[in-house]
A and B are shown apart, each in its own frame.
Chain A
């Protein structure tokens, strides 16, 4: 330097830089866990769901523990002389159905179908929706136009109808797509994922549109990062919180969707039990055999409620503006 290096004083009276270091350094996960634990209602939902998952995993064990027959064991003696199923008793806590199968046992096993269908379809919907949304929001232009219009069409399409159509088309023989989508649970999962992913894609796209304008995206580009790197290392970490919230909010929808498909007879294949299918079976003679519809119905309502409570709690807990 030709001139000696003298300090620049913009404001001579200024003191040293004040450190506004944050409170205690907690990781976002810790912070989030603390907030969630303080939210009693959401926590209750979480406990219920954990128990439900355990119930699904250990269904055979539970059935043995209670000493009740398996879900598909037909017992003609449990029907009365006219062939009408009997109600709750000490032997069959929740009564039996028309074929003499234990309703309690079927409800326990039904949780497997509900959770499997809902969680797997949510996983696929979120994965697909995140990728589509990130690509549309990041690249904008004609790519965005094509993807967004397609999503609009999919959102406008009556998803239950799509489900029934696809499910019945794939429910015969070897299924569709050369046996890739087999009848039964696989069809249900594919249908639900297809119906749910446009919601996720749309939300992700909106978030990415605003994220991509942040200077750290430009900084990443100016360092020479590839688009893929920018998308996955800079944008995706900022999407984790909203994605978690929306996943928990679509899980209950997907549970209901599975129940609807099974209710309509295009879901899981008998004799596998599913809450929706049990309700469907019972809908013809609800007047006499109320227990056959009531118990799977209660299970369904409680499960959906629990997931919704968790979703609401997560939304609050992950809101960076909240400071509980």
Chain B
């Protein structure tokens, strides 16, 4: 691999996004805010794949849209290639967009049904005025189609003539068209059949190897990210609760929330599946409009201690085994071994 994975390409610091709650016409402005992303900091190293995992509504997509600046952050900074892009205007952002692309979750809604595949994949070139010669551009697009495993002869077909997996390949081709440095993939396989998920994941890994891409890979559970990611960040209600190397996270999770997510990962071994003590999270995810005080997970945490977890907010710090976690009472190896099927302790 060319990139060293030591120098950060993206540095996110204290990123916050609050959405005002739209209430009625008359009491406008009185409503509170949704704390979609509430003080998130992490680095993405050159050439690595960083996983971003958490339940629905924890702010993964919002984080992705902030980094790609489809949304304006409420506060915080995003350094990309050494430059803070958090406050850049749309015009200033345009050249940066070539370096930063997104793959979307829904391959049905992310492709314009009225356009041909060829014109969808040509769009990045046209927008950036890159390849003005029609014949040359078409050739580039056909090469891209070939690269992502589509038949270039299908240049003039429309999205509805393709299966979900093939559509996602179109989305991938569009994203890598301008040879970006970073690709943010927001749940790129969760809308696909399980059998097709692996093919798209392999495609992404191949492209990463061939193009030296840096990938931010978003998923709502830990079952697909293991072999995809170098490091994984676990989010809960707008905050990162644990960040570790993939092996460390699966082998010895430290945050009870990570432990709970891992205990629901399906395991192929039936004996192991029977033996393990599944941690079932009680209750629902609290509303991000009114998140719990101090540790946001204390309302559902099996290890929560009154007087500590609901009073004192834990900070992200290095725990045993090198995981970074925000927890007063991190899981010990014995607990991990009992409850986590992927444990290696």
Binding site for B on A (CB under 8 A): 1-2, 5-11, 14-15, 17-22, 25, 214-216, 218-225, 229, 233-234, 237-238, 240
B30 contacts chain A at the CB level, 8 A cutoff: no
B128-A7 in contact (CB<8A): no
B88 contacts chain A at the CB level, 8 A cutoff: no
Q: Which residues of B contact A222 (CB under 8 A)?
A: 68, 70, 97, 101-102
Q: Which residues of B contact A6 (CB under 8 A)?
A: 227
A219-B102 in contact (CB<8A): yes
With A10-B194, A223-B123 known as contacts, the answer to whether A21 contacts B162 (CB < 8 A) is: yes
Q: Which residues between 113 and 145 of chain B lie within 8 Å of chain A, taking CB atoms?
A: 113-115, 123-124, 127-128
B97-A224 in contact (CB<8A): yes
Q: Which residues of A contact B111 (CB under 8 A)?
A: 216, 219
With A17-B195, A215-B104, A219-B110 known as contacts, the answer to whether A8 contacts B161 (CB < 8 A) is: no
Interface segment out of the listed B199-207, B232-240, B311-319, B320-328: B199-207
A7-B198 in contact (CB<8A): yes
Q: Which residues of B contact A224 (CB under 8 A)?
A: 93-94, 97-98, 127-128
Q: How far is the CA of A240 from the CA of B1 in the complex (A)?
A: 48
Q: Which residues between 157 and 206 of chain B lie within 8 Å of chain A, taking CB atoms?
A: 157, 160-163, 165-166, 171, 174, 194-199, 201-202, 205-206
B197-A215 in contact (CB<8A): no
Q: Which residues of B contact A20 (CB under 8 A)?
A: 162-163
- Set A5, A7, A237: member contacting B112, Cβ < 8 A: A237
Besides A7-B198, A223-B174, A233-B123, 7 other A-B contacts (C-beta < 8 A): A8-B228, A10-B195, A11-B197, A215-B106, A215-B109, A222-B68, A223-B123
B105 contacts chain A at the CB level, 8 A cutoff: yes
Q: Which residues of A contact B1 (CB under 8 A)?
A: 1-2
B123-A5 in contact (CB<8A): no
Q: Which residues of A contact B202 (CB under 8 A)?
A: 7-8
Q: How far is the CA of A14 from the CA of B165 in the complex (A)?
A: 14
A11-B194 in contact (CB<8A): yes
Q: List 15 A-B contacts (CB under 8 A).
A: A6-B227, A7-B202, A10-B198, A10-B224, A11-B198, A17-B199, A20-B163, A21-B163, A214-B109, A218-B110, A219-B110, A222-B101, A224-B98, A224-B128, A225-B123
B206-A5 in contact (CB<8A): yes
B209 contacts chain A at the CB level, 8 A cutoff: yes
Chain A residue nearest to B169 in the complex (CB): A17
Q: Which residues of A contact B196 (CB under 8 A)?
A: 14, 17
Q: How far is the CA of A11 from the CA of B192 in the complex (A)?
A: 13
Q: How far is the CA of A221 from the CA of B93 in the complex (A)?
A: 11
Q: Which residues of B contact A219 (CB under 8 A)?
A: 102, 104, 110-111, 171, 174
A223-B113 in contact (CB<8A): no
Q: How far is the CA of A273 from the CA of B206 in the complex (A)?
A: 73
A25-B161 in contact (CB<8A): yes
Q: Which residues of B contact A1 (CB under 8 A)?
A: 1, 209
Q: Which residues of B contact A17 (CB under 8 A)?
A: 163, 165-166, 195-196, 199
B161-A21 in contact (CB<8A): yes
- Set B114, B123, B209, B223: member contacting A237, Cβ < 8 A: B114
With A25-B157, A222-B102, A234-B112 known as contacts, the answer to whether A18 contacts B123 (CB < 8 A) is: no
Q: Which residues of A contact B198 (CB under 8 A)?
A: 7-11, 14
Q: How far is the CA of A2 from the CA of B160 in the complex (A)?
A: 39
Q: Which residues of A contact B68 (CB under 8 A)?
A: 222
Chain A residue nearest to B160 in the complex (CB): A22
Q: Which residues of B contact A218 (CB under 8 A)?
A: 70, 102, 104, 110
Of B93, B114, B128, B227, most A-chain CB atoms within 10 Å: B114
Q: Which residues of B contact A223 (CB under 8 A)?
A: 97, 101, 123-124, 127, 174
